[in-house]
Amino acid sequence: SYVLTQPPSVSVAPGKTARITCGGDRIGLKSVHWYQQKPGQAPVLVIYYDSDRPSGIPERFSASNSGNTATLTISRVEAGDEADFYCQVWDSDGDHGGVFGGGTKLTVV
Amino acid sequence: QVQLQKSGPGLVKPSETLSLTCSVSGGSISSYYWSWIRQPPGKGLEWIGYIHHSGNTKYSPSLKSRLTISVDTSKSQFSLRLSSVTAADTAVYYCARGVVVVAAREGHFDNWGQGTLVTVSS
């Protein structure tokens, strides 16, 4: 099945920019979606189709996808952004449906 | 805004069948792919499978032999049955609305219900 690789953790100071990567073989050819999961809560879709934001998601959240890496960028990071972030693609070449990365813990220090 | 409300036991004995139901409100059950996703304690997300209102299903290969997902459109509900459970099936189970383009083999999950921990233990 298709494998997505994320760094386990990313730390950033308030007001700075956080970047969370998601690596996969030719991931630039796939659509990548991103979810934010705060402790004890269900995941929330924050980016879909590589770079689109659902209504209600701040413009501070943006993303890109090219080559073997997709990147979620959070600008002007706030304490409330601290959460686990997961990238996701569809296993279009196999039979595994939704495939998630291992998740990245964003810590605002 | 569509809401998904899950019901089912939080404790299941080993070798028995885990059964969960998700009720959909605030929107139609048609035109989407209703999905189950789980998360073992302290770990990442795992897609389990989906069902379309037409009854078309797709299951994770690793669970396929033990898994049944069904839909009752008259009640706007879909259900999960996972047989012969072991401790490895202990997880928070989520139901979610899938936006899937089957022809393009592409999909994501735009609405999630609150998860419930299901523990497999005697």
- Chain A residue nearest residue B106, CA to CA: A90
**Whether the Cβ atoms of residue A90 and residue A2 lie closer than 8 Å to each other:** no
**Rounded to whole angstroms, what are the CA distances from B40 to B36, B45, B47, B107, B117?**
13, 8, 12, 22, 9
Q: Which of A95, A72, A89, A75 is nearest to A4 (CA)?
A: A89
pLDDT (0 to 100) of residue B101 = 83
pLDDT (0 to 100) of residue B30 = 86
User: Is the predicted pLDDT of residue B100 greater than 90, yes or no?
Assistant: no
Residues ≥6 apart with Cβ < 8 Å to B103: none
Residue B121: band (very low, low, confident or very high) from pLDDT cuts 50, 70, 90: very high
pLDDT (0 to 100) of residue A12 = 98
Residues ≥6 apart with Cβ < 8 Å to A18: A10, A12, A73, A74, A77, A81, A106
pLDDT (0 to 100) of residue B103 = 81
Which of A31, A42, A101 has the CB atom closest to B115's CB atom? A42
Q: Does B60 touch chain A (CB under 8 A)?
A: yes
Q: Does B103 touch chain A (CB under 8 A)?
A: no
pLDDT (0 to 100) of residue B106 = 84
- Chain A residue nearest residue B105, CA to CA: A92
Residue B104: band (very low, low, confident or very high) from pLDDT cuts 50, 70, 90: confident
Q: Which of A13, A14, A21, A17 is nearest to A102 (CA)?
A: A21
pLDDT (0 to 100) of residue B62 = 93
* CA atoms within a 13 Å half-sphere pointing along the CA-CB vector of B28: 6
B18-77 per-position pLDDT tens digit: 999 999 999 989 889 999 999 999 999 999 999 998 999 999 999 999 999 999 999 999
Q: Which residues of chain A have pLDDT under 70?
A: 94
**Whether the Cβ atoms of residue B98 and residue B22 lie closer than 8 Å to each other:** no
